[in-house]
Amino acid sequence: MLSTADNTMTDGPAAFVQSALFARTFSEGMALVEETAGYLDGEGRDAAKGLGREEALAYASASMRLTTQLMQIASWLLVIRAVREGEMSLGEAAEKKYRVEGSAEMSMRENAEILPERLAGLIEASRRLYAQIVRLDKDLFAAGEKELSQTDAAGQQRALLRAFSHTG
């Protein structure tokens, strides 16, 4: 589990959802979405007009992958916020359709040198945030799965069997 100054991940999923760490991550993610949208609609659009064929193709591909990754980030953050606000249970949020996976992480570093500097910076910021969210997702739902397995009837029976199987 992640170890943070406020121990939110070691205190369990409910603590993380209500934590300052989540609030900061949510603010950072939404700010990055907004900044990227502003760039792609303004300065980025202007920058793309002056690119050569290879650079324009790399720009289009990178901006589409960046937008996709930011949509995944925003979606995850909004699901966790829904849990925070009591609109969704942690169990519902743990469904596969709401999870993020590390395998989807973008690998655009090979084109970074031909992309406009600001776009490359946004891609790197998104990559770092996505990696952080993948770690949070794994820690959050691994803890949630452990909590659920200890509270369901079968989990309680397993705990009892373990407890009594060691006595002679």
| Residue 108 to residue 81: CA distance in whole angstroms | 29
Q: What average pLDDT does the segment 76-93 reach?
A: 94
Is pLDDT of 155 > 70? no
| Residue 40 to residue 130: CA distance in whole angstroms | 19
27-79 confidence digits (pLDDT tens) = 999 999 999 999 999 999 999 998 899 999 999 999 999 999 999 999 999 99
Burial annotation 49-87 (CB, 10 A radius, 16+ → b, else e): eebeeebeebbeebbebbeebbebbbebbebbbbbbeee
Q: What average pLDDT does the segment 83-89 reach?
A: 94
Q: What average pLDDT does the segment 101-130 reach?
A: 80
Q: What angle do CA 153, 157, 162 make, to 5 degrees?
A: 150
pLDDT of residue 107: 56
Q: What average pLDDT does the segment 138-163 reach?
A: 61
Q: What average pLDDT does the segment 8-27 reach?
A: 83
DSSP string covering 97-111: GG---GGG----GGG
Is pLDDT of 8 > 70? no
pLDDT of residue 136: 92
33, 74 contact by CB (below 8 A): yes
Is pLDDT of 131 > 80? yes
Give the pLDDT band (50/70/90) at residue 142. Answer: confident
Q: Who has greater pLDDT, 66 or 162?
A: 66
Domains and CATH numbers, the chain: 13-161 (1.10.8.930)
